[in-house]
A = this chain, B = another copy of it.
Amino acid sequence: QGTRDHPPAQAALRDRLLSAVVSCFKRHGAAAIDTPVLELRETLMGKYGEDTKLIYELQDQGGELLALRYDLTVPFARYLAMNKISNIKRYHIAKVYRRDNPATTRGRYREFYQCDFDIAGQFDPMIPDAECLKIVHEILSDLQLGDFVIKVNDRRILNGVFAVCGVPESKFIPACSTVDKLDKMPWEEVRSEMVGEKGLSPEAADRIGEYVQLHGGLDLIERLLQDPKLSQNKLAKEGLGDMKLLFEYLTLFGITGKISFDLSLARGLDYYTGVIFEAVLLQQEKEHVEEAVSVGSVAGGGRYDGLVGMFDPKGRKVPCVGVSIGIERIFSILEQRLEASGEKLRTTETQVLVATPQKHLLAARLKLISELWDAGIKAEMLYKKDPKLLKQLQYCEDTGIPLAAIVGEQELADGVVKLRDVATREEVRM
Contact = CB atoms under 8 A, between A and B. Distances in A.
Nearest to A14: B34
Given A123-B383, A138-B373, A348 B30 contact: yes
Given A14-B34, A29-B379, A56-B61, 15 more contacts: A1-B64, A4-B36, A6-B34, A6-B35, A29-B348, A29-B378, A30-B348, A37-B37, A38-B111, A57-B59, A58-B68, A59-B60, A123-B383, A124-B384, A127-B385
B29 A134 contact: no
Contacts of A377: 27
Contacts of A106: none
A11 interface: yes
Contact of A33 (B11, B130, B367, B374): B11
A249 interface: yes
B252 A363 contact: yes
Nearest to A130: B366
7 contacts: A11-B33, A26-B349, A28-B380, A29-B348, A31-B347, A124-B385, A134-B373
Copies in the complex: 2
Contact of A1 (B8, B27, B63, B95): B63
A240 to B, nearest CB: 20
A363 to B, nearest CB: 6
A102 to B, nearest CB: 11
A124 to B, nearest CB: 5
A83 B10 CA distance: 14
A400 B161 CA distance: 46
B366 A249 contact: yes
Nearest to A374: B138
A249 B130 CA distance: 60
Contacts of A58: 56-59, 68
Interface in A367-423: 367, 370, 373-374, 376-380, 383-385
A36 B111 contact: yes
B12 A31 contact: yes
Interface residues of A, number: 77
A336 B118 CA distance: 29
A244 interface: no
A95 B26 contact: no
Interface in A78-135: 79, 82-83, 88-90, 95, 97, 99, 110-111, 119, 121, 123-124, 127-128, 130, 134
A292 interface: no
Contacts of A362: 127
A254 interface: yes
Interface in A116-164: 119, 121, 123-124, 127-128, 130, 134, 138
A7 interface: yes
Interface of A: 1, 3-8, 10-12, 14-15, 26-38, 56-61, 63-64, 68, 79, 82-83, 88-90, 95, 97, 99, 110-111, 119, 121, 123-124, 127-128, 130, 134, 138, 249, 252-254, 347-350, 362-363, 366-367, 370, 373-374, 376-380, 383-385
Contacts of A376: 27
A31 B348 contact: yes
A27 B378 contact: yes
A376 B366 CA distance: 43
A83 to B, nearest CB: 7
A257 to B, nearest CB: 14
Given A90-B8, A377-B27, A383 B34 contact: no
A134 B34 contact: no
Contact of A379 (B27, B252, B363): B27
A238 B64 CA distance: 49
Contacts of A6: 33-35
A31 B11 contact: yes
Contact of A8 (B33, B99, B124, B367): B33
A111 to B, nearest CB: 5
Nearest to A142: B376
